[in-house]
Amino acid sequence: MKPALPALLAVAVASEFIAENLHESFAVQPHVEPEVKVSNPIAQAPPTSPVGSGNMEPLGILRQRILYAKMRRANLVTGDLAMADAFIATARAVMRERALQPFERQIQFDCLRGEIELIHGRSRGCRDYSNALPAVANALDIPYNAPFALIFPRLT
């Protein structure tokens, strides 16, 4: 039995080595891709609204840039209506810069309303510029229905 044990171990090691080499030669390695994939560029859709001044800046970035410039200027003025006027001036500037579709005007109104609500929430109710919303809607030429809380503030 002693001479058979080393022979059996040698056969087991040799067969394992042969099986491993055969497996490596036939199998595809997991870290090597069999072919190179080339992506084809897809043409982007043209913007919905035509650009008025040749500016290819996205509409959201244009609105934020104008709004923050007006807000910085309004922060220098001590009047209560300066910040509300910044929102109205932003709506007018966006309409002047681009010819907007009706749904795009509604989106711009919702974004400006969201910015007003964000300022209201950040200031814990101290700064409320929601009185500018009817004028913003008028500047964007969309219908505006005031929420119940604005019409009757004491009932809510």
Rounded Cα gap, residues 128 and 21, in angstroms: 75
CA 93 to chain centre: 22
pTM, two decimal places: 0.58
pLDDT in tens, 5-52: 777 777 777 778 777 776 666 655 566 666 666 777 777 666 555 555
Residue type present at position 97: E
Rounded Cα gap, residues 145 and 156, in angstroms: 17
In the chain, where the domains are located: 59-151
pLDDT of residue 46: 62
SS3 of residue 98 by DSSP = strand
pLDDT of residue 81: 84
Rounded Cα gap, residues 84 and 89, in angstroms: 9
CA 100 to chain centre: 20
- Show the 3-state SS of 60-90: HHHHHHHHHHHHHHHHHCCCCHHHHHHHHHH
Which ranges of 77-144 does DSSP label H, i.e. alpha helix? 81-97, 102-122, 133-140
pLDDT tier for residue 104 given thresholds of 50, 70 and 90: confident
SS3 of residue 92 by DSSP = helix
pLDDT in tens, 55-92: 677 888 888 888 888 888 888 887 778 888 888 888 88
CA 44 to chain centre: 17
Dihedral Cα 62, 63, 67, 70, nearest 10 deg: 50
